């Protein structure tokens, strides 16, 4: 099985938060074509097949997740 590079040190990390959609986008390195790999719980990894490397991630529902963890509903 070929190795998959998860993360390499990169000086270029950028992010964008869409407040209306409550989605955080994080890109690592230069933008490149990537496939989305849904790993559950609103997290999608962006994977560059050509370079066999993780190039970003998307967090869906970030604000909602934070509010839920910081202010849990009593059982």
Please check whether residue 75 lies inside any domain of the structure. no
- According to DSSP, the residues that pair with 37 across neighbouring strands are 45
What's the total number of domains in the chain? Answer: 1
Beta strands in the chain (DSSP E): 13-18, 23-28, 35-40, 43-48, 53-60
Please check whether residue 1 lies inside any domain of the structure. no
pLDDT tens, residue by residue, 14-24? 999 999 999 99
Residue 29: CB atoms within 10 Å: 18
Please check whether residue 4 lies inside any domain of the structure. no
Residue 74 pLDDT > 90, yes or no? no
Please check whether residue 6 lies inside any domain of the structure. no
Q: What residues make up the domain containing 44?
A: 13-70
CA–CA dist 71, 27 (Å, integer) = 29
Hey, is 65 helix, strand or coil? helix
Please check whether residue 37 lies inside any domain of the structure. yes
Please check whether residue 53 lies inside any domain of the structure. yes
Residue 10 pLDDT > 70, yes or no? no
Please check whether residue 7 lies inside any domain of the structure. no
**Mean pLDDT estimate for the chain:** 86
Question: The pTM is what?
Answer: 0.76
pLDDT bucket at 71, cuts 50 / 70 / 90: confident
pLDDT tens, residue by residue, 56-66? 999 999 999 99
Please check whether residue 33 lies inside any domain of the structure. yes
pLDDT tens, residue by residue, 30-47? 777 899 999 999 999 999
């Amino acid at each position: 099985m070929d190795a998959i590079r998860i993360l390499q040190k990169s000086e270029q990390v950028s992010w964008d938060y869409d407040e209306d959609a409550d989605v955080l986008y994080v890109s690592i390195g230069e933008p490149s074509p990537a496939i989305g790999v849904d790993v559950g719980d609103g997290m999608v990894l962006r994977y560059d097949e050509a370079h066999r490397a993780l190039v970003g991630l998307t967090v869906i529902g970030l604000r909602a997740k934070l509010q839920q963890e910081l202010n849990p509903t009593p059982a």
